[in-house]
Amino acid sequence: MPFTDLVAENRVHRRVYVSPVVLDAERERIFGGSWLYVGHDSQIPAAGDYFCTEVAGRPVFMIRHGSGEVHVLHNHCPHRGALVAGGRTGNARMLRCCYHGWTFQVDGRLQAIPCMESYEGSEVRIGDPRFDLKPLQSAVYRGFVFATLNDDAPALATWLNQAAAVLDNMTERAPDGELEIAGGCFRTVQRNNWKVYLENLHDGMHPKFVHQSSLRASDRVSRGEEPDAGSNAALRMHIIAANDQDFEQMNALTVDCFGAGHSTMRGFRNPRSDDLVAREYEEALVARRGVAEADRILSLNYHNANIYPNLSVHPSFMQLRVIFPVSVDRTLVEIWTLRLKGAGDAFNRRNILYANTVHSPSSIIKVDDLEAYRRVQAGNAGGTEWVSQHARDRTASGDATGSALSEHYIRHQYRAWRLYMEGHRS
């Protein structure tokens, strides 16, 4: 069956979740054809700082040049293919391959080869770009670094489309107008296809069912039937209890879809409060931006935004999730927290608290989702051939905008999926 026949208007064939052949094609055509999030430029603040990751399954690293520019390079020595940048992070005045000592400048240009005379008469020479570390096309938007293997990709801002407004809002929430990565990340390997995770992120139907166990546990603590939950218990209970929205409330949440498979969902947790920590933060923002502008910034309450295919952000609590397909039934997700420069430490710690409450592998919310994802993956190994995506908003006239109870955004993702798989690159 051709790849494009696996997707119909209101359903997809289960093979899109379970076929290794499909995943191989996705890596080449979707992850290889679109812009992918690589990292945040705050992770490499000084000249020579680098951060290793992957793009479409290929090892890469971003590194800061002495001029301040950020380069994204293939982590692949052109001599024998070894990784050049070692570990996850580091700093280098030059890059030296550990295998045979080929040395490169931080922008990837070949600098020196030991025993150069042994290559006399060959085509190997310094200055020939074939023997430099190969660069990827890359761009930075508000500190968010993206790269693509597609030489014909549109400009990053064009590809981001209206999803760029979410990255704008996240950055504008910082009183000093800048964000930075706060500490390390959670890395979870989920037992599901990468699309299962992405499809769940705007799903307003599942919390009432999937999160019953965490809601019951939170309710017992709130009623005093369990031991005190320690510091910040009230905020943690508030975060968990928000999953108990009724269907009318979920139906009122807008999910908007944009080009290239991107989408946004309005928030069902209220991130604003009137306690001292929140007031100090808002006062700092008002001092920099003025009352009206600060209110505009903070009134944009997004639960999350999906920047297809490998990034999802949670703007109000500064969460950032990066998606890496490992195999057809394994997905690595990295969860990072961003710090708002100019906000107090206590306010920024709330975003870390949110990460611990919702995204930690030991979170009582996260395990609910992981079990649901596992069952979706296991169930799609057999049974009916087609998976339904028929749910529609009761009032929406099309698939560009709907509610959190509609599956219009999943259909939107698969329209983008089909275009990529047909060979349309970005």
Per-domain residue ranges for the chain?
36-148, 164-421
- Could you report the per-residue pLDDT of 184-232, keeping only the tens digit for each? 999 999 999 999 999 999 998 888 888 877 766 666 666 555 565 555 6
- Residue type for 263, please? S
CATH of span 164-421: 3.90.380.10
pTM of structure = 0.93
Q: ∠ at Cα 195 (191, 196), nearest 5°?
A: 55
Q: Is the pLDDT of residue 77 over 70?
A: yes
Residue 313 CA to residue 322 CA, distance in Å, equals 9
> Cis (ω within 30 of 0) for the bond into 309?
yes
Fold of 36-148: Rieske Iron-sulfur Protein (2.102.10)
Residues 6 or more apart whose Cβ sits within 8 Å of residue 34: 148, 150, 153, 159, 260, 308, 309, 420, 425, 426
- Could you report the per-residue pLDDT of 262-321, keeping only the tens digit for each? 999 998 777 788 889 999 999 999 999 999 999 999 999 999 999 999 999 999 999 999
The helix/strand/coil state of 153 is coil
Residue 89 CA to residue 105 CA, distance in Å, equals 17
Roughly how many angstroms between the first and final C-alpha of the chain, as a whole number? Answer: 24
Structure confidence at residue 279 (pLDDT) = 94
The helix/strand/coil state of 356 is helix
Q: With cut-offs at 50, 70 and 90, classify the pLDDT of residue 241.
A: low
Structure confidence at residue 366 (pLDDT) = 87
Q: Within its chain, how far is the Cα of 196 from the centroid?
A: 14
Containing 315, the helix (H) or strand (E) segment is none
Residue 80 CA to residue 59 CA, distance in Å, equals 15
Structure confidence at residue 68 (pLDDT) = 93
Q: What is the mean pLDDT of residues 137-160?
A: 97
Q: Is the pLDDT of residue 344 over 90?
A: yes
Are 322 and 307 in contact, with CB atoms under 8 Å apart? no
Residue 201 CA to residue 396 CA, distance in Å, equals 20
Structure confidence at residue 43 (pLDDT) = 98
Q: Is the pLDDT of residue 169 over 80?
A: yes
Q: What is the mean pLDDT of residues 328-344?
A: 98
330 vs 268, residue with greater confidence: 330
52-56, 198-202, 240-244 — which is least confidently predicted? 240-244
Residue 385 CA to residue 68 CA, distance in Å, equals 52
Structure confidence at residue 209 (pLDDT) = 87
Residue 148 CA to residue 36 CA, distance in Å, equals 6
Q: What is the CA radius of gyration of the chain?
A: 23
Long-range contacts of 282-290 (CB under 8 A, 24+ apart): 284/175, 284/342, 284/343, 284/344, 285/173, 285/175, 285/342, 285/343, 287/175, 288/175, 288/176, 288/177, 288/342, 289/172, 289/175
Q: What is the mean pLDDT of residues 384-391?
A: 93
Q: Is the pLDDT of residue 28 over 80?
A: yes
Structure confidence at residue 175 (pLDDT) = 98
Mean pLDDT of the chain: 91
The helix/strand/coil state of 200 is helix
The helix/strand/coil state of 386 is strand
Q: What is the mean pLDDT of residues 174-189?
A: 95
For residue 203 the two structure tokens come to 């799903």
Q: ∠ at Cα 217 (212, 219), nearest 5°?
A: 90
